[in-house]
């Protein structure tokens, strides 16, 4: 599965309203619920927060890639959110996160989330890619980065 195929217009939020880490995670999960990708918000939320307790998914450079594997996930999907003001996420570099990629995968999926994490991380290592995403004002501009 190509990374770009895990995104959809319905799952790209170019203006997160969240003010903190938990609000950001909840806002992204709500998008997955609304899009029918998860059937039990609380179960999936617990999976994501359990992963966050182990180690923050704020990887630095303004990026956070929270993820969860759960039976509540109907189909593997990624939801993207952007925060212009930035959110304190407990990132490795202690800087606010601006770009959020929440990866949701079914419990019985093999390594889909690892492949997605790897592909996203490789893309985002490049400053021009991060800038293009930060400056995107619609889905078409956003997804072009992943084509």
Task: Supply the residues annotated as catalytic.
Answer: 67
Give yes or no for a contact between 97 and 80, defined as CB atoms under 8 angstroms apart. no
Q: Which helix (H) or strand (E) holds 79?
A: strand 77-87
Exposure b/e, 43-61, CB count within 10 A at least 16 = b? ebbebbeebbeeebbbbeb
Q: Which helix (H) or strand (E) holds 80?
A: strand 77-87
Which residue from 49, 50, 30 is spatially nearest to 41, judged by alpha carbons? 30
């Amino acid at each position: 599965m190509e990374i770009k195929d895990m995104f959809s217009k319905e799952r790209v939020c170019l203006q997160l309203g969240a003010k903190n880490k938990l609000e950001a995670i909840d806002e992204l999960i709500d998008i997955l619920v609304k899009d029918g990708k998860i059937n039990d918000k609380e179960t999936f939320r617990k999976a994501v927060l359990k992963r966050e307790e182990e180690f923050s998914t704020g990887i630095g450079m303004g990026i956070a890639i929270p993820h969860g594997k759960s039976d509540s996930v109907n189909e593997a999907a990624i939801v993207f959110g952007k925060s212009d003001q930035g959110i304190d996420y407990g990132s490795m570099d202690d800087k606010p996160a601006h770009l959020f990629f929440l990866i949701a995968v079914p419990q019985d999926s093999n390594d889909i989330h690892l492949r997605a994490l790897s592909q996203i991380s490789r893309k985002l290592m490049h400053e021009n890619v991060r800038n293009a995403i930060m400056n995107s004002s619609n889905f078409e501009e956003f997804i072009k980065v992943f084509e």
